[in-house]
C-alpha cells in the first residue's frame, strides 16, 4: 500500500495528515499556532517562518510515528495553506519577510491603489480586488521597508514555502498565487504588463507549475532528520479552498460546492472564466488544471452561530457537555420543528458579496412579535440564522449566474455546517437544488492527498482520483413549498438589508466589517 503525507499550514494551526491511496486517514497531528505582530506595526500579522517550520517538522515526525507505517511506503508529500499569505526571499533562499492571510497593515496602500482608478481593470485580469490581495502588502514593504524590498529575489505563497522547505526548489502554482492579486489568473501565468501597472519588481517571479506536478524529491538531510525515505517525492499542492473542493469531488466543469465554516464559500467550476460585469464575485484558478472557480464569500457565518450559542444558549451548552455532544446538535434538533421561514425573523449579518465595494451592515435581528414568545425564542432564531446563511449563498450564486448564465441543479455541501441534517435540508429548499453531503466534510487534506496521488502516478488525473476516493453519505431534495416561502423572505431580506446598510454608511450604526477604502 502506498501512503501520502499532506502538510496543511492553516490560519489557526498546522497539520500533518497521512492517508493511504484509497483516501483513508491513517494518522493525524495538529498544533495550534499564533500569527503574531512581530514588528509592532499596527494591523501587522506576521507569519513566523522559523517557528512554524519547526512545528511542521515536529508534526511530520508525530504523524509518521503514530501511523506505524514503513516510511519507505510514504511515496509523496504535498502541501496546502491559507490563501493570500505571502513569503519573500533573498538571493540565498532565506526568508526576508512573511505575512499571514489576515495581515491588515496595508490599509493606506489599499486606499492609494483605489484612488488610481485601476481596480476594475486589475480585477478583469486577476479576478481579485485590492481589499484582501497581496498587492497592497508588497507596496507597504516598498514604502516602509525599502532595504527588504530591494533584496527580494523571489516570492511565493505559504503553501509554496512548504514545498520549498521540503524540496529546496522555488515554484508557485495557480490556485494559491491567483489570490495574490498580481498574477494573471485568467491565463494562469505571470504578466509583465500587469506587474508594470502595479509598479512591482519585474524579475522576481518563480516558474508556475500546476497542482499535482512532481517537483522532485525531499532534501536528503531533511529526510534523514525526519526519518523519511530520501526517495519520497514532493508534489505541488494548492490553496486550501481549492483543495477542499477537490476533496469533496468537485473536479469537473460546473461542479458547485458550498463550504460552510467560519466564512462560507460558494465555489462554481468553469472552463472559460469571464469577469463579473460589476466585479462583485471573486475568480480564482482551481487546483485542477484547466478549471477556474467563481467564488462567493459569506462573512462570519460560523462566528455568528458561535456568538448566538455563547450569548444565549448556556443551558444547551450545559446539557451538551453532560451528553458528550455538540450544543449545535441540540439547537439544530430544536430548530427542526420550526416551520420554514422561522416566522420571518430577519437576521442582518453578511451581505451578498460585492467584491468591488465590500462591506456589511450593522449586525441585527429584526421582526419579532413580543406578544408571542413561543414563536420568537431560541429555536426560531437559530433556524432563522441557518436560513439566512442559505439566503446569503443564494444571493452569491445568483451573482455568479449573472456572470456565466449558469445555476446549478445540485451542490456539494461540506464543512462544519454540513454535519447538521436540518441545515443541509434547509440549503436544499432555499437554493431549490439537490444537496449532496460527502463522507469526509473537512476535505482540504484529502484534496491534498489526491494531488499527491496524481503527482506520483497512482491515479492518472483528478477525475480518476475522485472516483476512487470521494464518497457521499446523504442527499437532500428541495421542498417546493418551502422554496416558495424562502424566495419571498429572501426578497424582503434583500430590501431590509439595503436600509440597514444605508444607516451604517451614514454613521448611525457600526458596520460588521468593511474593506479598507470603503
- What would the pLDDT profile of 69-128 be if each residue is shown by its tens digit? 999 999 999 999 999 999 999 999 999 999 999 888 999 999 999 999 999 999 999 999
Q: Are residues 277 and 146 in the same domain?
A: no
The number of distinct structural domains making up the chain is 3
SS3 241: helix
Q: Rounded distance, CA 417 to CA 262, Å?
A: 9
Q: What is the pLDDT of residue 310?
A: 96
Q: What is the pLDDT of residue 39?
A: 73
Q: What is the pLDDT of residue 33?
A: 86
Would 402 be classed as within a structural domain? no
Q: What is the pLDDT of residue 11?
A: 84
Largest CA distance in the chain: 73
Nearest CA-CA partner of 347 in 389, 378, 307:
389
Domain that holds residue 390: 301-396+480-514
Q: Rounded distance, CA 418 to CA 429, Å?
A: 14
Q: Are residues 231 and 310 in the same domain?
A: no
Q: Show which of 241, 259, 282 is a domain's final residue.
A: 241
Q: Tell me, what CATH number does 444's domain have?
A: 3.30.420.40
Q: What is the pLDDT of residue 308?
A: 97
Would 186 be classed as within a structural domain? yes
Q: What is the pLDDT of residue 34?
A: 79
Q: What is the pLDDT of residue 359?
A: 96
Q: Which residues contact 117 (CB under 8 A, 6 or more apart)?
A: none
Q: Are residues 274 and 180 in the same domain?
A: no
Q: Are residues 135 and 219 in the same domain?
A: yes
Q: What is the pLDDT of residue 483?
A: 98
Q: What is the pLDDT of residue 36?
A: 76
Q: What is the pLDDT of residue 516?
A: 81
Q: Are residues 19 and 89 in the same domain?
A: yes
Q: What is the pLDDT of residue 499?
A: 98
Q: Which residues of the chain have pLDDT under 50?
A: none
Q: HEC states along 72-93?
A: HHEEEEEEEECCCCEEEECCCC
Q: Are residues 311 and 349 in the same domain?
A: yes
Q: Are residues 179 and 236 in the same domain?
A: yes
Amino acid at each position: 500500500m502506498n501512503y501520502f503525507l499532506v502538510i496543511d499550514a492553516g490560519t489557526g494551526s498546522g497539520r500533518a495528515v497521512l492517508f493511504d491511496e484509497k483516501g483513508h486517514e491513517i494518522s493525524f497531528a495538529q498544533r495550534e499556532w499564533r500569527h503574531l505582530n512581530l514588528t509592532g506595526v499596527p494591523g501587522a500579522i506576521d507569519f513566523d517562518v522559523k517557528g512554524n517550520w519547526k512545528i511542521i517538522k515536529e508534526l511530520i515526525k508525530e504523524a509518521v510515528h503514530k501511523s506505524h507505517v514503513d516510511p519507505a511506503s510514504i511515496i509523496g508529500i504535498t502541501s496546502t495553506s491559507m490563501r493570500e499569505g505571502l513569503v519573500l526571499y533573498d538571493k540565498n533562499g532565506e526568508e526576508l519577510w512573511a505575512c499571514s492571510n489576515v495581515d491588515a497593515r496595508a490599509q493606506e496602500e489599499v486606499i492609494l491603489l483605489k484612488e488610481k482608478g485601476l481596480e476594475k481593470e486589475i480585477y478583469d485580469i486577476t479576478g481579485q480586488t485590492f481589499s484582501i490581495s497581496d498587492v497592497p502588502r508588497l507596496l507597504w514593504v516598498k514604502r516602509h521597508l525599502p532595504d527588504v524590498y530591494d533584496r527580494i529575489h523571489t516570492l511565493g505563497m505559504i503553501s509554496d514555502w512548504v514545498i520549498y522547505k521540503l524540496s529546496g526548489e522555488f515554484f508557485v502554482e495557480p490556485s494559491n498565487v491567483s489570490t495574490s492579486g498580481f498574477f494573471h489568473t485568467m491565463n494562469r501565468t505571470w504578466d509583465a504588463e500587469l506587474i508594470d501597472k502595479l509598479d512591482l519588481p519585474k524579475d522576481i517571479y518563480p516558474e508556475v507549475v500546476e497542482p499535482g506536478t512532481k517537483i522532485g524529491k525531499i532534501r536528503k538531510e531533511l529526510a534523514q532528520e525526519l526519518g523519511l525515505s530520501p526517495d519520497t517525492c514532493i508534489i505541488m499542492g494548492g490553496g486550501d479552498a481549492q483543495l477542499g473542493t477537490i476533496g469533496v469531488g468537485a473536479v469537473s466543469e460546473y461542479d458547485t460546492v458550498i463550504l460552510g465554516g467560519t466564512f462560507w464559500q460558494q465555489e462554481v467550476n468553469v472552463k472559460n472564466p469571464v469577469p463579473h460585469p460589476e466585479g462583485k464575485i471573486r475568480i480564482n484558478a482551481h487546483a485542477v488544471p484547466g478549471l477556474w472557480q467563481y467564488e462567493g464569500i459569506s462573512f462570519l457565518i460560523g462566528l455568528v452561530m458561535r456568538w448566538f450559542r455563547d450569548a444565549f444558549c448556556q443551558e444547551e451548552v450545559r446539557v451538551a457537555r453532560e451528553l458528550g455532544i455538540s450544543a449545535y446538535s441540540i439547537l439544530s434538533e430544536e430548530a427542526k420543528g420550526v416551520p420554514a421561514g422561522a416566522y420571518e425573523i430577519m437576521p442582518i449579518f453578511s451581505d451578498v458579496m460585492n467584491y468591488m465595494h465590500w462591506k456589511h451592515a450593522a449586525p441585527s435581528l429584526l421582526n419579532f412579535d413580543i406578544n408571542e414568545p413561543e414563536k420568537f425564542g431560541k429555536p426560531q432564531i437559530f433556524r432563522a440564522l441557518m436560513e439566512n446563511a442559505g439566503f446569503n449563498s443564494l444571493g452569491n450564486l445568483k451573482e455568479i449566474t449573472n456572470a456565466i448564465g449558469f445555476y446549478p441543479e445540485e451542490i456539494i455541501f461540506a464543512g462544519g455546517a454540513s454535519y447538521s441534517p436540518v441545515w443541509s435540508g434547509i440549503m436544499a429548499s432555499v437554493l431549490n437544488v439537490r444537496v449532496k453531503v460527502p463522507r469526509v466534510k473537512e476535505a482540504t487534506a484529502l484534496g491534498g492527498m489526491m494531488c499527491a496521488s496524481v503527482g506520483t502516478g497512482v491515479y492518472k488525473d483528478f477525475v480518476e482520483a475522485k472516483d476512487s476516493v470521494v464518497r457521499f453519505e446523504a442527499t437532500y431534495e428541495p421542498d417546493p413549498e418551502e422554496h416558495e416561502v424562502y424566495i419571498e423572505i429572501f426578497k424582503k431580506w434583500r430590501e431590509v438589508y439595503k436600509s440597514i446598510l444605508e444607516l451604517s454608511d451614514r454613521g448611525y450604526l457600526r458596520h460588521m466589517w468593511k474593506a479598507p477604502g470603503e
